[in-house]
Amino acid sequence: MFLSPEPLSLVRLCELTEAAPGPVQRALGELAARHDASSGLELAEIAGGWVLRTQADLGPVCDRLRARPPEERLSPAALETLAVIAYLEPISRPEIARVRGVSAEATVASLLERGMIEEAGRAQEGGAMRYRTTPAFQERFGLKGPGDLPPITHFELSGAEAEAVHQRLRDAGHLSDEVA
Amino acid sequence: MSGTVRVADPLRLPLELDLFEGPLDLLLTLVLREEIELAELPLRDLVAATLDGDEAWDSPTTGELVLLLCSLAELKARRLVGEDDDEDFAPDPDAELVRERLAAQLIAFAPFQRAGVWLRTQDGVEGAVRYRRVPLEAGDPSLTRHAPAELADALARLMVAPPTPSLGHMNRQRVNVGEIVAELRGALRRSGQVSFDEMTNGTDRLAQGMTLIACLELARRGEAQLAQPIPFGDITVRRPSQGRAGA
C-alpha cells in the first residue's frame, strides 16, 4: 500500500500477498490500529480500495509540498453539477440542466476534462450521452465507492426552510401572497 | 439582407399587429400612456414586424431598433414580475404560475446545492488524496547500473544520422502502347490470332489496360478483329480476312 499509486481492493491485496481474505482483513485491522490518531499515517477505505495515507489534519502540509495551483479547485457551479451527477447517475446533460435550471454544457465539459466524470453510454440509440462519476472523483472526495454519499434527504430543506425561501421570494416581489 | 441599405427613421416604421396598426413611435407613445397594455402585446410579432420585413437598415438604425425592442422587453418583464407600483395592474396568472414553478425548482435544487457545499468540505484539494500518486514504473533502475560515459556513448550512437533510404526498389514502370501494338502485329502475322489473356498473363493492371488499348487501336485501323464470345471472358484478336484488311 505504501508503494501503490492507487487504492488496492481486498481482492488485489489477496492476489499480491497470496493470502486468503480473512488474514488480509485481519492484517488491515492491525494496520489500522497501529496507525491511530497519534500517528502521521492512517489506513483509509476509498474508491473501492484501501490506502495508507497521511492523516487528514496534515493535508495542508501535503498541499504545500505538492504546491497545488488554485485553478485545480472546483467552482461552486462545478461542485453542484458534480453533486447532481453523483446522486442521479447516469444522467444526461439536458437532465442536469433541467435539475439545475441553467445550461450545464461548460461545467460538464470541465468535469470531463478533470476526470471527475466519464461517459456512461446512451439510454437509447440516438439519445443524449449520459455521465457518471469516476474512481478519481471518489478518490478526490474520499468516498469508499460510487454510492458512498450521505442520503440526499439529509440535504433537503425542512418545511420551515422551504417556507423561508418562499418568504424571501415574496419579500423580493417575485411571488404574490395569494399564490404562495 | 439584400438590397440597398437605407438610412431611415425607425420610429416611422409602419406596423401591422393584431393590437395596433400604425408607426412604431405611436405604438411607443400609447404603451407609455398605458393605452395599450404592454403585457398583452406579443413582442415576438413586434420583432418580426420590425426586423423581418423587406427593409434594409444600416447598422446604426438597426442598433437603435434593437435597443428600442430591448427596452420594451425589459418594460414588459418588469410589469410581468410585479415591479410596477400601479395598484390596478393585474398580474398575469401564467406568469404567477411560472414564478411558482421557479420557486419550486429552487427548493428542489437546494439539496444538490447543499450536497455541493458538502463536497467542497470533502474536496481532495483540502487533503483527501494524501498518498503517493507516482506510478510504480516511473523510474528505470537499470539506468543506474551504467556509467555516465556509457550513456553518453549510447546517445552519441543514436545521434548519428541514418543513411539515406534507397528508393531502388521503387522502379518506375514504363508501358509503351506503340511497343505493344508492334508486338501484336508480329503475333498476328505469325499465327493469325492471339488470346488477350495469354498476352497479358503475368502482367499488372497497367500493362493489361495498355494491351487492351493497343487491341482497340489495331481494330480501329482495320488490322485486327476482336471477338469476346462470353461477357468478361477472353478476347480473341484475329487477323482480318483479306477482303477487309485494307478497309
Last residue in a domain, options A66, A86, A105: A66
Q: What tens digit of pLDDT does each residue of B99-144 get?
A: 777 777 778 888 888 888 888 888 764 445 666 666 665 556 666 6
Shared domain for A59 and A113, answered yes or no, is no
Tell me if ipTM is over 0.90: no
Q: Does B130 touch chain A (CB under 8 A)?
A: yes
- Max mean pLDDT range (A5-19, B27-41, B120-134): A5-19
Q: Closest Cα of chain B to A152: distance in Å?
A: 7
* B118 at A interface, C-beta within 8 A: yes
Q: What percent of chain B has pLDDT over 70?
A: 74
Domain range spanning residue A16? 10-66
Of A58, A63, A79, the CB nearest to B120: A79
Interface check for A174 against chain B (CB to CB < 8 A): the answer is yes
B92 lies within 8 A of chain A by CB? no
Q: Give the angle subtended at the CA of B44 by the CAs of B41 and B48, to the nearest 5°.
A: 115
Q: Does a structural domain hold residue A42?
A: yes
- Is residue A167, in this structure, part of any structural domain at all? yes
Q: What percent of chain A has pLDDT over 90?
A: 26
Is pLDDT at A179 greater than 50 in this prediction?
no
Task: Give the model's pLDDT for residue B126.
Answer: 43
Label residues B66-91 b or e (16+ Cβ within 10 Å = b).
Answer: eebbeebeeebeebbbbebeeeeeeb
Give the span between the Cα atoms of A82 and B204, in whole angstroms.
63
Q: How many domains does chain A have?
A: 3
In a domain, A166, yes or no: yes
| A97 reaches B (C-beta below 8 A) | no
Domain with CATH 1.10.10.580 in chain B: 177-245
Class of B177-245 in CATH:
mainly alpha
A5 within domain boundaries = no
Query: Which CATH number do you get for residue A55?
Result: 1.10.10.10
**Where does the pLDDT of residue A67 fall: very low under 50, low under 70, confident under 90, or very high at 90 and above?**
low
- At B34, list the grid cell: 398605458
pLDDT of residue A109 exceeding 70, the answer is yes
Domain boundary among A41, A66, A91: A66
If pLDDT is split at 50, 70 and 90, which confidence band does A62 have?
A: confident
Residue B32 burial by Cβ neighbours in a 10 Å radius (0-12, 13-18, 19+) = exposed
* CA nearest neighbour of B245 among B174, B177, B189: B189
Whose grid coordinates read 492507487?
A6
Report the range of poorest mean pLDDT among A124-138, A153-167, B43-57.
B43-57
Which of A74, A171, A178 best probes binding to B when mutated, by most B CB atoms within 10 angstroms? A74
| Distance between B167 CA and the closest CA of chain A, angstroms | 45
Q: Mark whether A42 and A92 lie in a shared domain.
A: no
Q: How far is A42 from chain B (nearest CA, A)?
A: 10
3-class secondary-structure state, position A8: strand
Q: C-alpha grid cell for residue A165?
A: 425561501
Residue of B nearest to A55 (CA): B130
Q: Does A3 fall in a domain?
A: no
Q: Quick check: is A79 in a domain?
A: yes
Quick one: pLDDT at residue B220?
Answer: 92
In which band, very low, low, confident or very high, does the pLDDT at B60 lie, cut at 50, 70 and 90? confident
